[in-house]
Amino acid sequence: MNLVSSQYAPQACKPRAHHFLQSEGRILPLGAELTDTGCNFSIYSNSSRIWLLLFDQNNQEITRFKLIEKRGKFWSTFIEGVKAGQNYGYVVESDDPNVHNKLLIDPYAKALNQALEWRPEIEQPNNHCWVAKSVVVDDSFDWQGVKKPRLKDSDVILYELHVKGFTWLNPKVPAELRGTYLGLSHPCVIAHLTSLGIKSVQIMPVASFMAEPRLMELNLTNYWGYNPINFFAPDPRYAINDAVVEFKTMVRQFHAAGIEVILDVVFNHTAEGGDGGPVLSYKGLAENSYYYFDNMDSPDLPKRHANFTGCGNTVNLDLPWALKLTLDALRYWSTEMQVDGFRFDLAVTLARERGCFEPYSAFFKALFQDPILSQVRLIAEPWDIGHGGYRLGQFPSNWYECNDRYRDNIRAFWRGDSGQIAEFATRILGSRDIFPKNKRSIHSSVNYLCYHDGFTLEDLVSYENRHNQANGENSRDGHGHNLSSNGGVEGPSFDSRVKQSRAQLKRNLIATLFLSQGTPHFLAGDEMGRTQQGNNNAYCQDNEISWVDWSLDSTKQAELAFTQQMIQFRLQSSVFSQLSLVDDGFELHRDAVEARWYHPDGHFMQKSQWHSATAQVLQLELESSEEHWLLVFNASEYDVSVEFPAIKESLVNWQLVMDTSVNDGMLMQSNQVMPKNGTSFANSIMLLTAKEFIPE
């Protein structure tokens, strides 16, 4: 047994008696690996001396051991007598007073004993009582034979939600489960998702995080969780007792219902911030092995953190240990936690080598060849704020990419902006200018109208300006180019005409999303008119601004029903969920679809008409061997008489299926037949069929 001299003992927490024995450990795997007799501890560190500290359940230090097994920068030891639930941390000897004798979180910790909250004491040398402790975890769990859903790409509709925000106000979730992993997978939540037709939940970050000191000083918090301190441990904020077991239970319950789990992950930066930021883990153990620095090629100059992320620091996956850490974390979530895929925040950062985006980066190649990670769903936010950081369409072919150009064009088109019609046609057929046919899947484009970082759908049609006063920055934060409209009144309105106009605009946007080629992304609560009161950057609002309101009036009920029907429409039609166009080289494919564009007068669109600055109405005919559709889009403020294209079978007429101008937003009766000449009502979509195809 090894005890360090008293100069390294924390002043606030005195060591107590212990019954552990130390022996030689193994270098790999990193982290804390439990055995029948104790636990192997292994950690990567640049330090010359390192100690393992063990704590009781009251955060009081029990004992500490000097690590003596060293291979390169790997340190290890085996402690006999350690059991699951043991709290631990590390202390290193350093000439840097910002590192020396600070308790450090194990980068490979699979659990933390408490949520990490910043406080000034964390910055002090003897911070041991205030820093969250790493926890030894027993990985055993009964999955009850439940397997991953393994969804087809055409079945994927990404439904983005927050663990707390989605359940906190839901009266059907038991009070003690609201805001937790178990609450999120409660049968009433699963019933809501199933009734919508959702089979993929995209959960906002759950890896353990810490709110920025600046926010804590403003009595705010990092509600979204995009400020991780550990890449493995599920945050205990969302747990009742055991975050690991409860997270696994949540995944098991989702999988049993046929719903896959996509995690929003943040590997581009950490909560340690930039120069002068807190020392919590990586900075104290091996700062140069994890982060980018602006002057990496000038070792004689003081280090200065690079900031490609806007969060103070940047994790450098061009370094082998940062890359290994990230891949090990992804593999852990994929196997031990049974997660089905990942949405990568600021994904461009992960593929930077020597500061520049590399389409053939080690990160991409490692994922592609990995037998586990090559099988999971990979979704990129294809940008960061560094030089050359916008890379939409440049990720590997097996990736999905969040398509902000889809968002902007669809918003602009339905807002009534001029000159949008040509791009609109490109966006709803899969953005093949960005994701070229025969090179990228038709599902590559993640189409979205709203994301967590922006207006909700209700606010998109109710506000022209952001209203972020609650964030404490005088509304200077958040995106200023929202392409939103308010119907003539900023914010809530009791004017029936304004309310009707907003409801119709939302139906146009929802219908466009689910009738477009690509992978739809839908923000939780948008099916029920959720509002953030005009706040388009609610990252720090852990209150009613961010929580989903489950109270439904008749208007919200109608919007929910319309969303359900459009999703069912998409899922039951191969044309709208997995289009294969004839000119994509699928001439011999039985499901190949012919796409024909028409002017409102019934003639094929001409080149000059595509470039018209005033054109706002067009028709799209989609015909396969099994289905035959006509979509009429009218983004103008006028009712337009439309000449429908002729149908080859002379005895068949176009049948109206859906019209967003109808106030209740429901599907039309199956026996309703449209005349040859129809009227497209202002700001609306008509969907017609020439075959008997009505969703159940």
Using CA atoms, how far apart are residues 324 and 317, in angstroms rounded to an integer?
8
Beta strands in 198-327 (DSSP E): 200-203, 260-265
Beta strands in 206-324 (DSSP E): 260-265
Beta-carbon count within 10 A of 74 CB: 17
Token pair, residue 283, equals 């900075």
Using CA atoms, how far apart are residues 567 and 510, in angstroms rounded to an integer?
9
Single out the catalytic residue among 381, 458, 621, 659: 381
Task: Return the closest-CA partner of residue 677 out of 650, 649, 646, 644.
Answer: 644
Using CA atoms, how far apart are residues 178 and 136, in angstroms rounded to an integer?
27
- Which of left, alpha, beta for 435 (phi over 0: left; psi -120 to 50: alpha)? beta
Contact 30, 43 (CB under 8 A): yes
Token pair, residue 274, equals 């930039």
Angle between helix 187-196 and helix 554-572 axes, rounded to 10 deg: 60
Using CA atoms, how far apart are residues 556 and 305, in angstroms rounded to an integer?
48
Radius of gyration of the chain (CA): 28
Half-sphere exposure of 196 (CA within 13 A, CB side): 27
Q: Is 336 an active-site residue?
A: no
Angle between helix 404-415 and helix 421-428 axes, rounded to 10 deg: 130
Is 300 buried (19+), middle (13-18) or exposed (0-12) by CB count in 10 A? exposed
Single out the catalytic residue among 272, 345, 458, 623: 345
CA torsion sign for 320, 321, 322, 326 is positive
Q: Is 345 an active-site residue?
A: yes
- Paired strand residues for 633: 618, 685
The amino acid at 483:
L
Reduced to 3 states, what is the DSSP secondary structure of residue 155?
helix
Using CA atoms, how far apart are residues 589 and 39, in angstroms rounded to an integer?
57
Contact 317, 344 (CB under 8 A): no
Reduced to 3 states, what is the DSSP secondary structure of residue 404?
helix
Using CA atoms, how far apart are residues 266 and 263, in angstroms rounded to an integer?
10
Is 438 buried (19+), middle (13-18) or exposed (0-12) by CB count in 10 A? exposed
DSSP 467-486: --GGGTSTT-SS-S------
- Cα–Cα distances (Å) from 103 to 10, 112, 237, in that order, read 9, 13, 21
Using CA atoms, how far apart are residues 79 and 12, in angstroms rounded to an integer?
25
Beta-carbon count within 10 A of 151 CB: 17
Task: Return the closest-CA partner of residue 168 out of 182, 181, 178, 183.
Answer: 178
Token pair, residue 348, equals 């461009």
The amino acid at 406:
Y
Contact 307, 313 (CB under 8 A): yes
CA torsion sign for 13, 19, 23, 29 is negative
Using CA atoms, how far apart are residues 610 and 301, in angstroms rounded to an integer?
56
**Residues catalogued as catalytic:** 345, 381
